[in-house]
Amino acid sequence: MLRIGVLALQGDFAAHEDVITNLGHAAEAVRRARDLSTLDALIMPGGESSAMLRLMQAEDLGGAIAERIRGGLPVLATCAGVILLAHGVSPWQPSLGLLDIDVIRNAYGRQVHSAVEKIRLVEEFAEPREIDGVLIRAPRISRVGTRVDILAWFGNDPVLVRQGSIIGATFHPELGRDTRVHRQLLAMTGNDG
């Protein structure tokens, strides 16, 4: 059984915990730097990225997360989690700068514009090649670095990317029924869940 940490400061962490538990693994809330020490992987959920940044300042949780990711800890970042990891953020706010993409915050509209859209997966995924993607105040990826693989598209926009041990989804895979994005994270640990 894998120990999958879920950043549980604010936002949509409970739905990720449910997915991980339903896949047969332990979901552990991460609120302090010491919570990272025994994890096999980490999920950085959606929510409000600026609020998460403020809450991570205690104990330099952001620095501890960055250190573990640089050390190869597999991570799945969704929505606000992608903003926290992106190199460039517009409108500007600080980020950990570990994922070589630029994002535009809330690019698909305000909360009232939230929608379920068809996301096209690359051939690496088994059929069906489309999944429902829940977009809630989602960031748009405006630049993708050369070390980043695009795994899924919404229209012409990349919405699921991978760089080394980091997977970034601008949509909310934890709110749909398809668990393939979470299984990608588990596969990075050597266990395909």
Give residue-wise pLDDT tens across range 18-44.
999 999 999 999 999 999 999 999 999
> What residues contact residue 54 under an 8 Å CB cut-off, 6+ apart?
none
Give residue-wise pLDDT tens across range 104-125.
998 776 665 567 889 999 988 8
Is 38 exposed, middle or buried (CB count within 10 Å of its CB: 0-12, 13-18, 19+)? exposed
Total H helices, total E strands in the chain:
5, 12
* Catalytic (active site) residue 172: yes
92-96: long-range contacts, CB 8 A cutoff, minimum separation 24 = 93/49, 93/50, 93/53, 94/53, 96/62, 96/65, 96/66, 96/69
The overall average pLDDT reported for the chain is 92
Rounded to two decimals, what is the model's pTM? 0.94
Annotated catalytic residue within 16, 25, 172, 182? 172
Give residue-wise pLDDT tens across range 157-184.
999 999 999 999 999 999 988 999 999 9
What pLDDT is attached to residue 113?
Answer: 55
Annotated catalytic residue within 16, 28, 79, 182? 79
Confidence tier at 134 by pLDDT (50, 70, 90): confident
* Catalytic (active site) residue 79: yes
* Catalytic (active site) residue 16: no
Give mean pLDDT, residues 32-59. Answer: 93
Does the pLDDT value for residue 87 go beyond 80? yes
Q: Which domains does the chain have, with CATH numbers?
A: 3-188 (3.40.50.880)
